């Protein structure tokens, strides 16, 4: 009678190793797929975030712009705009200067701003801007400025604006004020991004199409569209034609 | 060992699922905030458009430089407010603000400005430089064109029917002296011996009338069909006699458009009449207000026109045109179509801001 040592046979060991290997392979495959899923999800989120920023910026800048005078599609990768920074109502004049009740996201700067007269749209450069609180009656939401312009502004309103351009370069959405550098407004996550003029010759709409950066090529591209409120057909005493 | 691997796998999958849920949740919150932002902006735009649609001119008591509240809906925390800021006599800025609640007790605000163009009665009065303005005028026997006493109420009207603004406009436009007949050159005015022309001066040369296109003041011709209070389509017919004559009930002053012209045969009418053909008044017909025609004005048989007229040509015999600022003012200030605002040329939507930064 023979007694073998208790334990596992070679066959049993091989089977156990095979099962463990298969299980580890499955785990590795699952983790790899999950990693891929996370990367796609992150690319989606990054693209969505960049598009959201572009939407908010372009909507805020262009929704109420005059598409004829305020916007110029320079190239598929850049759009030049008059970026409105304050709105004012003319409230007086003195020695060639114009007093204006202003509200805005910042105050006029003689180094970089111009004003567009409303109505009419004539553009005058700002040569000087001084805050003069007591010059005109104004509300708490306004500040009064003494503006030295190329010539006194007539009664009416004016828009204080700076010239700037939006760019799609180096996989990011960027803003450039005047001739300064292009500052990124989003992360570098945009691939194959370009501006498109919609509606042919009538500038009703501006679109920006952007896909993900090449590293996440299988994320679908998306559009940002801005409809110009001022592009609605005119029906006015000043523009209608006589027979 | 296998159990450990399985547990590790479950843990990793759970962590990944939780991470993705968190990302999706954050994206959902951001999207909802974006949706609320767009809704607020649209609410502000809709409030401005609503105020625009309801606007009627003139608005007494609101001078240039004045600002006032036009409409409010909802509450200060959740609603819209529209203010008017009168920039010039003819331009007013409507400033709309929409406010909405945000999570965490916060408040979101969207603002927009809408510039509107209004028609002032003075603008329209300026379009009538005399009792009769035409490229050519033929005043036959017993015709009368009278611009004297331009500030007097029309016959049968009371002083209370005439607003003081009419006299003020008369003074500011003409200095109180209104010409009778205005033609490009006096050679275009033919006058029978028994015809009477009165005014200061009786006749005036205005070369621009030779080339000027038919219009109603600042309103170009092709705008009229779209805004008229009433259109008299079909063959020329008599315009209906309004109730409340002579001063007229408020609703009876209208802008009437007659694309093919009008024949008033012994009837009475009032308002602003714009005709694309001849305007004929005969058999004692009377009209109070203003007439603009791209055709001829033909008056016969004791017909009377009280107000002013602008025509391509005029042929008047045995009838009277009498300038009365009161009738003009009542017609142009009372016509519903001329009280509505318009979109100004170019930009009319403007960004608006909260206040000093």
Domain boundary (A128, A161, A194) is at A161
Concatenate the DSSP letters of all residues of B136-194 into one string.
EEEE-TT-EEE-TTTTSPPTT--GGGS-HHHHHHHHHHHTT---SEEESSGGGEEE-TT
* Chain B residues in contact with A117 (beta carbon < 8 A): none
Alpha-carbon distance of A141 to A101, in angstroms, equals 10
Whether A86 and A152 share a structural domain: yes
HSE (CB half, 13 Å, CA atoms) of A213? 18
| pLDDT of B319 | 96
Chain B neighbors of A155, CB-CB under 8 A: 64, 87-88
User: What residue segments make up the domains of chain B, in order of their start?
Assistant: 34-118+341-357, 121-338
Range of the domain at A137: 81-161
Question: A62 and A181 share a domain?
Answer: yes
pLDDT along chain B (357 residues), means of 10: 78 84 84 87 94 84 83 89 88 92 87 91 90 95 92 84 87 88 93 94 90 82 89 68 51 84 88 92 92 94 94 95 92 89 85 78
State both tokens at A106: 């910042």
In chain B, residues with a C-beta closer than 8 Å to the C-beta of A56 are: 34, 37
Q: Cβ separation of B345 and A234 shorter than 8 Å?
A: yes
Domain boundary among A110, A145, A161: A161
CA distance B84 to chain A (A): 12
Burial class, B67, CB count within 10 angstroms (exposed 0-12 / middle 13-18 / buried 19+): middle
- Closest approach of B232 to chain A, Cα-based (Å): 19
Residue A32 lies in a domain: no
CB B262 within 8 A of CB B272: no
Q: Could you tell me the CATH number of the domain that includes residue A133?
A: 2.40.30
Token pair in block for residue B184: 């490009």
Cβ distance of B2 and A142 shorter than 8 Å = no
Question: Do A61 and A173 have their domain in common?
Answer: yes
* Burial readout B151-176 (b: 16 or more C-beta within 10 A, e: otherwise): eebbeebeeebbbeebbebbeebbee
Residue in this structure with the two tokens 């209208």, named with its chain if needed? B254
Position A14 in a domain: no
User: What would the two tokens of residue B247 be?
Assistant: 């001063």
- Do residues A168 and A71 share a domain? yes
- Whether residue A34 lies inside any domain: the answer is no
Residues B230 and B254: beta-carbon distance below 8 Å: yes
A102/A214 same-domain check: no
CA distance A181 to chain B (A): 25
- List the beta bridge partners of residue B109: B99
Residue A241 in any domain: the answer is no
Is the Cβ pair B218, A241 closer than 8 Å? no
Q: Which of A117, A137, A161 lies at the terminal end of a domain, its last residue?
A: A161
Residues A168 and A218 in one domain: yes
Determine the distance in angstroms separating the CA of A146 from the nearest CA of chain B, rounded to an integer.
15
* Domain match, A88 and A54 both: no
Within a domain: A58:
yes
The ipTM estimated for the assembled molecules is: 0.76
Give this prediction's pTM.
0.80
Co-location of A194 and A226 in the same domain: yes
Q: Do A136 and A92 fall into the same domain?
A: yes
* B244-288 tens-digit pLDDT: 455 555 557 889 999 888 999 888 888 999 999 999 999 999 999
Q: Which helix (H) or strand (E) holds A50?
A: helix A10-62
Contact across the interface for A157 and B45, Cβ inside 8 Å:
no
Each residue's pLDDT, cut to its tens digit, for chain A (243 residues) gives 455 666 778 888 899 899 989 988 988 888 888 888 888 878 888 888 888 888 889 888 888 888 888 887 778 888 888 889 998 889 889 999 999 999 888 999 888 899 999 877 889 999 999 999 888 888 888 899 999 999 999 988 899 999 899 999 888 999 998 778 889 999 888 888 888 876 554 556 778 888 776 666 666 778 888 888 887 655 555 544 333
Domain membership of residue A4 (yes or no) is no
User: Is A105 among the domain residues?
Assistant: yes
Query: In terms of Cα–Cα distance, which of A50, A67, A135, A71 is closest to A101?
Result: A135
- Mean pLDDT (chain B) is 87
Asked if residue A23 is part of any domain, the answer here is no
How many domains would you assign to chain A? 2
| Residues in CB range of B3: below 8 A, 6 or more apart | none
- Cβ(B293)–Cβ(B314) below 8 Å: no
């Amino acid at each position: 009678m023979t007694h073998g040592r208790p334990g596992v046979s070679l066959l049993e060991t091989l089977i156990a190793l095979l099962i463990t290997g298969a299980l580890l392979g499955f785990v590795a495959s699952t983790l790899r797929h999950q990693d891929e899923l996370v990367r796609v999800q992150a690319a989606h989120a990054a693209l969505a975030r960049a598009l959201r920023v572009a939407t908010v910026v372009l909507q805020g800048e262009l929704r109420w712009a005059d598409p004829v005078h305020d916007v110029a599609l320079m190239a598929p990768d850049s759009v030049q705009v008059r970026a409105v920074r304050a709105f004012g109502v003319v409230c007086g004049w003195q020695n060639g200067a114009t007093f204006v009740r202003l509200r805005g996201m910042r105050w006029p700067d003689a180094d970089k701003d111009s004003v567009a007269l409303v109505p009419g749209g004539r553009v005058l450069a700002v040569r000087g801007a001084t805050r003069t609180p007591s010059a005109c009656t104004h509300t708490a939401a306004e500040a009064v400025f003494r503006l030295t312009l190329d010539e006194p502004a007539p009664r009416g309103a004016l828009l204080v604006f700076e010239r700037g351009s939006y760019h799609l370069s180096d996989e990011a959405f960027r803003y450039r004020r005047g001739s300064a550098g292009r500052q990124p407004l989003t992360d570098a996550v945009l691939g194959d991004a370009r501006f498109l003029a919609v509606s042919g010759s009538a500038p009703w709409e501006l679109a920006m199409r952007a896909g993900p950066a090449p590293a996440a090529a299988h994320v679908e591209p998306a559009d940002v569209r801005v409809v110009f409120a001022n592009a609605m057909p005119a029906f006015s005493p000043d523009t209608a034609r006589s027979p | 060992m296998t159990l450990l691997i399985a547990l590790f796998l479950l843990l990793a999958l759970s962590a990944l699922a939780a991470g993705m849920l968190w990302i999706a949740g954050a994206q959902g919150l951001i999207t909802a905030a974006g949706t609320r932002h767009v809704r607020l902006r649209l609410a502000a735009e809709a409030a401005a458009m609503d105020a625009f649609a309801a606007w009627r001119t003139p608005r007494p008591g609101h001078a240039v430089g004045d600002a006032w509240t036009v409409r409010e809906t909802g509450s200060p925390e959740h609603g819209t407010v529209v203010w008017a800021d009168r920039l010039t006599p003819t331009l007013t800025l409507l400033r709309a603000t929409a406010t909405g609640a945000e999570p965490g007790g916060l408040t979101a605000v969207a603002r927009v400005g809408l510039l509107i163009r209004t028609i002032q009665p003075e603008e329209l009065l300026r379009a009538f430089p005399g009792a009769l303005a035409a490229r050519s005028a033929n005043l036959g026997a017993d015709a009368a064109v009278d611009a004297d006493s331009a500030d007097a109420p029309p016959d049968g009207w009371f002083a209370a029917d005439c607003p003081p603004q009419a006299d003020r406009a008369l003074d500011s436009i003409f200095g109180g002296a209104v010409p009778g007949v205005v033609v490009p050159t006096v050679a275009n005015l033919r006058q029978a011996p028994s015809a009477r022309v009165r005014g200061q001066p009786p006749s005036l040369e205005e070369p621009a009338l030779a080339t000027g296109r038919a219009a109603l003041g600042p309103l170009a011709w092709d705008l009229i069909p779209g805004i008229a209070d009433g259109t008299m389509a079909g063959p020329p017919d008599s315009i209906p006699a309004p109730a409340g004559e002579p001063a007229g009930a408020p609703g009876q002053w209208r802008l009437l458009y007659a694309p093919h012209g009008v024949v008033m045969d012994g009837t009475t009418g009032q308002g602003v009449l714009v005709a694309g053909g001849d305007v004929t008044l005969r058999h004692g017909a009377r009209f109070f207000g203003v007439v603009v025609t791209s055709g001829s004005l033909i008056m016969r048989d004791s017909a009377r026109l009280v107000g002013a007229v602008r025509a391509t040509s005029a042929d008047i015999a045995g009838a009277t045109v009498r300038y009365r600022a009161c009738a003009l003012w009542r017609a142009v200030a009372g016509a519903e179509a001329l009280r509505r605002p318009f979109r100004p040329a170019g930009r009319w939507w403007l960004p608006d801001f909260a206040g000093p930064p």
